Every structure is written in structure tokens, then in C-alpha cells.
């Protein structure tokens, strides 16, 4: 048997890892750059961010009054990293050299699957439960997304159900302003499918020039509108009524971290007739820190 079908050498493992890392870098990360990064995520659970609550300063206290001792109002937001894996045996008829090349399916397909898995984990964090720990106990509770206050109805500003509209866009920004979020300095994003892009693009063509001038277009895609970056993502979830759940968020309200960056290995699998078996593994954590910084826009398609 030729040498290329023989043992898995260290050079094969290094080549495979290098090519996978390069392939992942070249595949666009949809949400990674739109989240705040959590450094040093370790273990099965980790604190992502500490929220500092509001307190009220005393006014016109008399000189002989006791020194203020305002109780703290802090809460920790925790994350549980999730594991991503991918693997596939290499048939004995395929050489290790071929399988570890950059353009092989064992590199490209695996890298694409890992990147999609990361996007899915981050997308789930928009409306998933938060793990909120109070300082006085250190114990955390699972808190559901606040749909009562952070949701824009599917028929908002219209006589019937609509897709993504200018009115819904303005309403989302107004919610941020009401929550005292500095929309002039925050990075704001909205994830959309092709249907939402089509709806918003069509409306901007017939609406007032003032609104059109606040949009950035590229090949019939709305790239930015009213200072908000549009993020294309075809796998946004739907609710029980079939309406698309469109997330509208500020970067400081969403967080992600690498509990274990992507690693690869290739060994012969005794359970699969000793065929070479490439394997990829990655641990990722993601969460929403404050409901006030994420809005759900319901859209009818």
C-alpha cells in the first residue's frame, strides 16, 4: 500500500488543523462581531457580565443626617457554554494527504458546519432565557425574555399583519430611547431574512425621501437604515403563530465567548474498521444581558 494510505503522521494532523482554521476564518461569521466578547470563559458555568443597577441620590439632606448607605443593586449574568462537534470517517480508498487538503470535503464541510453551529447558538441567545444571579445570594435563576415589554406586534401601525416596516423600525428605536439607551453611540443591529429585506426595500422605494436618505443600499439589499446595521440570517425562528421573530439589539446587550476555541484531531477509529476519523470540537457561550437592549419584532411573511 502506498505511503499516503499508511500511518497518520503529525504533519497530516497539523495540515488538517491549519486548513480547518483557515476555512473557518474565511466563512463569514454572521453574529460574532455584533456581540460583546466575554473574555476568559472557563468551566461549565461562567459570569458573562455584572449589571449595575440604578440607585437614587439623596437631595438636600440636613448636615446632621446620617451618612447615606445606599443598598447595592447588582446582578450577575451567567452563561453555560455549549459544545459543538463534527466528524466523519475517511474511506480507506481516500489518502490522508487528499483528505487534509484545504479544498477537501473533510475541511470545507466541517468548517461550514461549525460556523453554522456557532451562528445558531448566538441566534438562540436573543430570545432564550437569561441566567441572573443576585449578589446577596449568588444563586441564579432562569429568566425568560420579556415579551410583554420588548415585543413589537405583528400588526403594529397597520390595519393588519405586516412584515418589517419603517413604523416597526422607528418603534424599536423609540423603545431603546425610552429605556435611556444612547442610540447615538451604541452599535445597533437587526437580523433579517430575505423576506424582511424585500419588505423594507419595497417600502423605502415609495416612502418619503427623508427616510430613503437614511438608508444604505447595495444591489437591492438594505445594508443600513436609520443608523441600524441589517444582518442577513435566513434561519431566524418563528413563533407558534408562524410569525418571524426578528431580533433588534444593541451590541452591549448581547455577549459571547469562546470557552474552548476550535480544535481538531485525526486518529484511526477502531470502531470503524480503523478508518481515519477527523474530529472538530468547540465550546461557545452566549447570552443576553438586559432585556431592555433587545427587542423582538414580529413579522408576517
pLDDT tens across the length of the chain (301 residues): 344 456 788 999 999 999 999 999 999 899 999 999 999 888 778 888 776 656 567 787 788 778 766 655 567 888 999 999 999 999 988 889 899 999 999 999 999 999 999 999 999 999 999 999 876 666 788 999 999 999 999 999 999 999 999 999 999 999 999 999 999 999 999 999 999 999 999 999 877 677 778 889 988 899 999 999 999 999 999 999 999 999 999 999 999 999 999 999 999 999 998 899 999 999 999 999 999 999 999 999 9
Cell of 211: 427616510
Instruction: Decide: helix, strand or coil at residue 235.
Output: coil
Residue 142 inside a domain? The answer is no
CATH number, domain containing residue 84: 3.30.2400
For 238-265, b/e burial (b = at least 16 CB within 10 A) is: eeeeebbbbbbbbbbbbbbbbbeebebe
Residue 64 inside a domain? The answer is no
- Print the domain residue range for 183: 147-254+290-299
Domain count, the chain: 2
- Check whether residue 187 and residue 294 sit in a common domain: yes
- Check whether residue 35 and residue 173 sit in a common domain: no
In the block, cell 460574532 appears at: 32
Cell of 187: 452599535
In this structure, are residues 247 and 172 in contact, taking their beta carbons and an 8 Å threshold?
no
Instruction: Decide: helix, strand or coil at residue 286.
Output: strand
CA distance 212 to 217: 9
Residue 102 burial (CB count, 10 A):
15
- Check whether residue 295 and residue 283 sit in a common domain: no
- Check whether residue 196 and residue 277 sit in a common domain: no
Q: Which residue from 172, 196, 293, 188 is spatially nearest to 244, judged by alpha carbons?
A: 196
Q: Which residue from 132, 248, 266 is spatially nearest to 189, judged by alpha carbons?
A: 248
- Check whether residue 172 and residue 116 sit in a common domain: no
Q: SS3 string of 61-126? A: CCCCCCCCCCCCCEEEEEECCEEEEEECCCCCCCCHHHHCCCCCHHHHHHHHHHHHHHHHHHHHCC
CA distance 11 to 264: 13
Torsion angle in degrees (nearest 10) through CA of 194, 169, 286, 113: 10
Cell of 134: 443576585
Q: Please give the full DSSP string across 19-43, using - where no structure is assigned.
A: HHHHHHHHSPPSSGGGSEE-----S
- Check whether residue 7 and residue 124 sit in a common domain: yes
- pTM of the prediction? 0.87
Name the helix (H) or strand (E) containing 261: strand 254-269
Amino acid at each position: 500500500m502506498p505511503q499516503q494510505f499508511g500511518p497518520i503522521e503529525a504533519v497530516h494532523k497539523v495540515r488538517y488543523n491549519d486548513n480547518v482554521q483557515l476555512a473557518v476564518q474565511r466563512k463569514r461569521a454572521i453574529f460574532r462581531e455584533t456581540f460583546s466578547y466575554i473574555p476568559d470563559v472557563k468551566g461549565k458555568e461562567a459570569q458573562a457580565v455584572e449589571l449595575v443597577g440604578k440607585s437614587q441620590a439623596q437631595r438636600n439632606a440636613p448636615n446632621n443626617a446620617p451618612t447615606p448607605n445606599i443598598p447595592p443593586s447588582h446582578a450577575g449574568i451567567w452563561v453555560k457554554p455549549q459544545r459543538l462537534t463534527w466528524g466523519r470517517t475517511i474511506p480507506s480508498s481516500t489518502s490522508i494527504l487528499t483528505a487534509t487538503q484545504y479544498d477537501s470535503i473533510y475541511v470545507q464541510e466541517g468548517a461550514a458546519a461549525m460556523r453554522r453551529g456557532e451562528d445558531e447558538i448566538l441566534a438562540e441567545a436573543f430570545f432564550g432565557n437569561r441566567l441572573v444571579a443576585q449578589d446577596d445570594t449568588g444563586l441564579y435563576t432562569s429568566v425568560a425574555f420579556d415579551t410583554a415589554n420588548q415585543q413589537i406586534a405583528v400588526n403594529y401601525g397597520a390595519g393588519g399583519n405586516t412584515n418589517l416596516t419603517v413604523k416597526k423600525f422607528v418603534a424599536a428605536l423609540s423603545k431603546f430611547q425610552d429605556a435611556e439607551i444612547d442610540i447615538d453611540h451604541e452599535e445597533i443591529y437587526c437580523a433579517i431574512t430575505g423576506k424582511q429585506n424585500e419588505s423594507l426595500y419595497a417600502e423605502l422605494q415609495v416612502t418619503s425621501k427623508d427616510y430613503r436618505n437614511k438608508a444604505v443600499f447595495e444591489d437591492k439589499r438594505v445594508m443600513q437604515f436609520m443608523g441600524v446595521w441589517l444582518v442577513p440570517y435566513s434561519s431566524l425562528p418563528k413563533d407558534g403563530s408562524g410569525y418571524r421573530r426578528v431580533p433588534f439589539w444593541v451590541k452591549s446587550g448581547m455577549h459571547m465567548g469562546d470557552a474552548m476555541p476550535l480544535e481538531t484531531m485525526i486518529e484511526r477509529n477502531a470502531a470503524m474498521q480503523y478508518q481515519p476519523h477527523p474530529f472538530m470540537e468547540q465550546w461557545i457561550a452566549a447570552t443576553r444581558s438586559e432585556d431592555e437592549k433587545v427587542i423582538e419584532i414580529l413579522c408576517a411573511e
